[in-house]
């Protein structure tokens, strides 16, 4: 680590939601390395405190992203540690399934955590930024850029996050920058919890190598100070999925082919022959 990277965040603070593990923890670790006083927040308060202690963050606190007041409290906590200049809306849930198969509770949770949680975070961050302004980085998904059957509600929330990021970026002062990071599938507990035979999981695995937490966290922190609003990881997958919106009927016909490819990839990861992969719906 160079002294330059250590001093990048000197005197500044940052908030990361959903930071007790996975991508959020990776983001928090990088911010700590750059000298930020980091507030690690998570719905699991004990895990947030443990993570903060392990990575040298300034504070770990419980935060239910569905509660707008909890965001304002986190912003105030960060402000006591240094000037708040970076906020990462990373918390999210990823229930997979066809829209008719998801429970009412799952649909509500997806919308309230992924979308409303991000909107409350944006509002709290923009209101709390000081004279130097700051960056809001929202963890969206490639699923928000095109049709992803098997993830219809999840994809809808991520599409809304991309849209909100672009709109807020255009309406805030120049000193405030808003970004949406759209990664492909990432090796996290969320992905591992998906139904292996489900259509959504198969399509995620159809794109080749699953990204690492480190890759995505690095891309997220790299957006701080940048003028770019939407970034896809990897870039080529972003172009491909956007192209599907130009010919949705063609994309629909290709779904079966991509799903079969993904199921073969899942089977390889499990060490079995491709024919052993569950068929799903």
Active centre residues (catalytic) = 154, 158
Sheet hosting strand 176-183, strand order edge to edge: 59-62, 37-42, 12-16, 83-89, 134-139, 176-183, 230-233
Rounded Cα–Cα distance for residues 122 and 3 (Å): 31
Q: Which of 195, 189, 208, 185 is nearest to 279 (CA)?
A: 195
Q: Which of 52, 34, 88 is nearest to 223 (CA)?
A: 88
Rounded Cα–Cα distance for residues 179 and 200 (Å): 25
**Residue 91: CA count within 13 A, CB half-sphere:** 33
The H or E element spanning position 51 is helix 45-55
Q: Which two tokens stand for residue 253?
A: 């016909």
Q: Which residues pair with 49 in a beta bridge?
A: none
Question: Is there a contact between 43 and 64 (Cβ–Cβ < 8 Å)?
Answer: yes
Rounded Cα–Cα distance for residues 126 and 138 (Å): 13
Rounded Cα–Cα distance for residues 91 and 93 (Å): 7
Collapse the DSSP code of 62 into the 3-class scheme (helix H, G, I; strand E, B; otherwise coil) and give the result.
strand
């Amino acid at each position: 680590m160079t002294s330059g990277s250590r001093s990048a965040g000197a005197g500044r603070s940052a908030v990361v939601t959903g930071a007790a593990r996975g991508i959020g923890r990776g983001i928090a670790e990088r911010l700590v390395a750059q000298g930020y006083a980091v507030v690690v927040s998570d719905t699991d308060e004990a895990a947030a405190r443990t993570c903060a202690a392990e990575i040298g963050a300034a504070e770990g606190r419980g935060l239910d992203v569905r509660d707008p007041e909890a965001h304002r409290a986190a912003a105030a906590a960060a402000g006591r540690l240094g000037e708040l200049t970076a906020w990462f809306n990373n918390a999210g849930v990823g229930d997979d399934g066809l829209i008719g198969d998801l429970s009412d509770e799952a649909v509500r949770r997806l919308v309230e955590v992924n979308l409303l949680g991000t909107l409350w975070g944006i509002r709290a961050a923009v209101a709390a930024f000081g004279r130097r302004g700051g960056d809001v980085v929202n963890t969206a998904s490639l699923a928000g850029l095109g049709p992803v059957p098997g993830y219809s509600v999840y994809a809808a929330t991520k599409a809304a996050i991309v849209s909100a990021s672009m709109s807020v970026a255009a309406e805030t002062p120049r000193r405030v920058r808003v970004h949406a990071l759209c990664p492909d599938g990432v090796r996290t507990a969320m992905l591992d919890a998906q139904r292996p035979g489900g259509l959504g999981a198969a399509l995620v695995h159809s794109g080749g190598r699953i990204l690492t937490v480190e890759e995505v966290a690095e891309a997220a922190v790299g957006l701080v100070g940048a003028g770019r609003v939407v970034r896809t990881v990897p870039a080529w997958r972003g172009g491909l999925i956007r192209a599907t919106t130009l010919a949705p009927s063609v994309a629909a016909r290709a779904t079966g082919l991509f799903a079969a490819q993904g199921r073969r990839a899942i089977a390889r990861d499990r060490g079995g022959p491709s024919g052993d992969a569950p068929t799903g719906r």
